[in-house]
Amino acid sequence: NAGVTQTPKFQVLKTGQSMTLQCAQDMNHEYMSWYRQDPGMGLRLIHYSVGAGITDQGEVPNGYNVSRSTTEDFPLRLLSAAPSQTSVYFCASRLQGYNEQFFGPGTRLTVL
């Protein structure tokens, strides 16, 4: 199993550009989530999904969209990037009913 994979590893955007961060898992996990990591703030939940077709907001959802058309994939879209979205983004997944989450390697995003 590849576990949780994320692409790209690094990305530089200009303010106002859009992009999609990709996340995939091959463990048949129902629950998937996106976090952003900023210095001194730990990881903050952006959006999460409990299954295909079901998504919900976390604590910092503004500026981000998600969709979940398959169990395996959970892309995160930035429609109009802002410098405040400069961060490291982590995707995670777990089985529904279990608490152990598996994390991807992260995407380091810089918005100029």
Partner 1 sequence: AQSVTQLGSHVSVSEGALVLLRCNYSSSVPPYLFWYVQYPNQGLQLLLKYTSAATLVKGINGFEAEFKKSETSFHLTKPSAHMSDAAEYFCAVSPQSGSRLTFGEGTQLTVNP
Binding site for partner 1 (CB under 8 A): 4, 31, 33, 35, 40-45, 48, 50, 58, 90, 92, 96, 99-101, 103-106
Least distance in angstroms from the C-beta of 77 to partner 1:
21
* Secondary structure letter of residue 73 according to DSSP: B
Instruction: Tell me whether strands 87-94 and 31-37 are parallel, antiparallel or unpaired.
Output: antiparallel
* Secondary structure letter of residue 15 according to DSSP: T
Least distance in angstroms from the C-beta of 40 to partner 1:
6
Q: How many CB atoms lie within 10 A of CB 46?
A: 23
Pick 19 or 43: Cβ nearer partner 1: 43
Least distance in angstroms from the C-beta of 13 to partner 1:
20
Pick 3 or 16: Cβ nearer partner 1: 3
Q: How far is residue 108's CA from residue 105's CA, in Å, rounded to a whole number? A: 10
Least distance in angstroms from the C-beta of 31 to partner 1:
6
Tell me if 21 sits within 8 A of 76, measured CB to CB. yes
Pick 35 or 64: Cβ nearer partner 1: 35
Tell me if 95 sits within 8 A of 29, measured CB to CB. yes
Pick 16 or 105: Cβ nearer partner 1: 105
